[in-house]
Amino acid sequence: MSGEMFEHSKIAVNLNREISAHLRRKVCQVVNSDIHVLPLGSDDPSYLPDITVTCNPEDYQRGSKAIRSPRLIVEVLSPSTTRIDRGEKRLAYQACPTMQEYVMASSQRQEVEVLRRGIEGEWEKTVYLAGETVQLLSIELRIAMSDIYEDTGISPLD
């Protein structure tokens, strides 16, 4: 979603930086909100998540305009986006068979929720707070909360 607050953008940039560095020269690729994600395989619904990781080369071949096989999606929550990110989008992302993790990062306080698909297909939620390290098992990455919220002005005490 365009037109969000500085904090929203900075959190997305910080996460993109960490994920991109980790995935450099690997099969999985990361994209920003410029490319559509079609979690159910068709044009409806179509979303523009803040960050998407796909490990399917068909998704990132030259000229691709949409990702159909997301593995990890990150949405930065803002007052104007929280309802749809936690509701409609969450349900669509969880229905996508390739999805392994859905990350929701707050732009109001240092808090990151990770919804992770379990071995038997059930979804489990882990909440990370200031001072902790977020684990993204789908791409084998650990990110310190301080790196996610770096230069945002969001205090660990908010």
Give the tens place of pLDDT for each residue, 86-118: 999 999 999 999 999 999 999 999 999 999 999
Report the pLDDT value the prediction gives residue 1, as an integer from 0 to 100.
Answer: 42
Report the pLDDT value the prediction gives residue 93, as an integer from 0 to 100.
Answer: 96
Judge contact between 146 and 128, C-beta under 8 A: no
**How confident is residue 47, by pLDDT bands cut at 50, 70 and 90?**
very high
> CA 40 to CA 44: how far, in whole Å?
7
Report the pLDDT value the prediction gives residue 85, as an integer from 0 to 100.
Answer: 95
HSE-up (13 A, CA, CB side) for residue 94 = 18
> CA 75 to CA 63: how far, in whole Å?
24
In order of start, what are the domains of the chain with their CATH numbers?
Answer: 6-148 (3.90.1570.10)
Burial class (CB in 10 A: 0-12, 13-18, 19+), 52: buried
**Whole-prediction pTM value?**
0.94
**How confident is residue 157, by pLDDT bands cut at 50, 70 and 90?**
confident
Q: Which two tokens stand for residue 135?
A: 């684990």
> CA 148 to CA 134: how far, in whole Å?
9
